[in-house]
Amino acid sequence: MQIDIIGVPIDLGADRRGVDMGPSAIRYAGLQKKLEDLGYTVKDEGNIEVPIAEMCTIKNPKLKYLDCIVPMSRRVSGAVSTSIQAGNFPLVIGGDHSLSIGSVRGAARNKKIGVIWFDAHADFNTDKTTPSGNIHGMSLAALTGYGDKSLVQLWDETIPVIDPNKIAIVGARDLDPGEKDNLRNANAMVLSMEQIDRFGMVAMMEKAIEHVSRDVDGIYFSFDLDALDPQFAPGVGTPVPAGITHREAHLACEMIAETGKLIGLDIVEVNPILDIQNQTAKLAVEFALSALGSRIWAGNL
């Protein structure tokens, strides 16, 4: 299988600058060579064109930089769709989580897919519920048909892109009040840190995988590095304490790889400005490798 690396250097969806340098940091951490060492053919497709904030304007404070994020999302969607149609595997590196409005849509073109959303946040706000106006907090809502028409449709009438009953949010621990209402209305599966603490990562990932993998053509995995506890991943824009451990994240990725159904992967929200010696970008590479089959030991127990 060929892996297509697609960089999306966007920070328009977030308040903190710097996450646009995430793709460079992840590449610098040795992504391509380490994937090749696993036996994959790898092609780096470069970066999707993304304007900088100084080129854009905020017309609606509840939908910041909408006019620049929508064209970016269309370009990302096209790149991911092209990769999958060629029989390849798109690995999208960011950049803030608004990029997933495009990447997941591209993966879902002519397919029915399930989505595992690994994140401290549910990203299920709309312009009616958002306290910040940051679109990286609206990505999953838009993909499931909630929110502003421009984000929900992009350029076509496919609504929703993803069935809300085919998503599983893992690691959530920072949800806004209106966002909670949206999640309840959508009947979305939210596996919070409380549930992971209570029942363990294995049980929660088994539940998530079973939930999203029934009657689908594949699973898309969108991994926000702020799902981890900040002691492991300091280089993220919206850190939240009491998160997933380094080893728990590897285990989750390994279990997804074992399904054999993974068709695409986002690695997002790496912010080198806030990082320590590229630590978070190095973790991003590690988790991508685990999701794509890397193991400590491949023998029998």
pLDDT digits (tens, 9 = 90+) for 152-208: 998 877 678 999 999 999 999 999 999 999 999 999 999 999 999 999 999 999 999
Q: What is the mean pLDDT of residues 275-300?
A: 92
pLDDT of 160 reads 83
Residue 213 has pLDDT above 60, yes or no: yes
pLDDT tens digit sequence for 48-59: 999 999 999 999
Tell me the pLDDT band of 300, cut-offs 50, 70 and 90: low
Confidence (pLDDT) at 284 = 98
Under the banding of pLDDT at 50, 70 and 90, the label for residue 276 is very high
For residue 104, give the H/E element and its range. Answer: helix 100-108
Q: Checking DSSP bridges between strand 2-8 and strand 41-47, what pairing results, if any?
A: parallel
Buried-exposed string 97-132: b where 16+ CB fall within 10 A, e elsewhere: bbbbbbbbbbbbbeeebbbbbbbbbbbbbbbebbeb
**Other C-beta atoms within 10 Å of 196: how many?**
23
Q: Which residue has the tokens 């991911």?
A: 80
Check residue 229 and give its pLDDT. Answer: 98
pLDDT for res 268? 98
pLDDT digit string, tens, across residues 108-129: 999 999 999 999 999 999 999 9
Domains, the chain? 2-291 (3.40.800.10)
pLDDT, tens only, 10-49: 999 998 999 999 999 999 999 999 999 999 999 999 999 9
Question: CA–CA separation, 89 vs 44, rounded Å?
Answer: 12
Residue 291, pLDDT > 70, answer yes
Phi-psi region of 56 (alpha: psi -120 to 50; beta: other; left: phi over 0): beta
Q: What confidence tens digit (pLDDT) does each residue in 230-261 have?
A: 999 999 999 999 999 999 999 999 999 999 99
The per-residue pLDDT of the chain, averaged, comes to 96
Tokens 């999306």 sit on residue? 8
Tokens at residue 43, please? 């092609």
Amino acid at residue number 82: T
**3-state class of 226 per DSSP?**
helix
User: CA torsion sign, 67 to 72 to 73 to 75?
Assistant: positive
Tell me, rounded to whole angstroms, the distance of Cα 15 from its chain centroid.
18
For tokens 């898309």, name the residue. Answer: 220
C-alpha closest to that of 6 among 36, 38, 34, 42: 42
Q: Which two tokens stand for residue 20?
A: 């646009």
Using the predicted structure, report yes or no on whether residue 8 has a pLDDT greater than 90: yes
3-state secondary structure of 253: helix
pLDDT at 297: 77
Which of the residues are catalytic? Answer: 97, 119, 121, 123, 136, 224, 226, 269
Least confident of 152-161, 196-205, 216-225, 288-297: 152-161
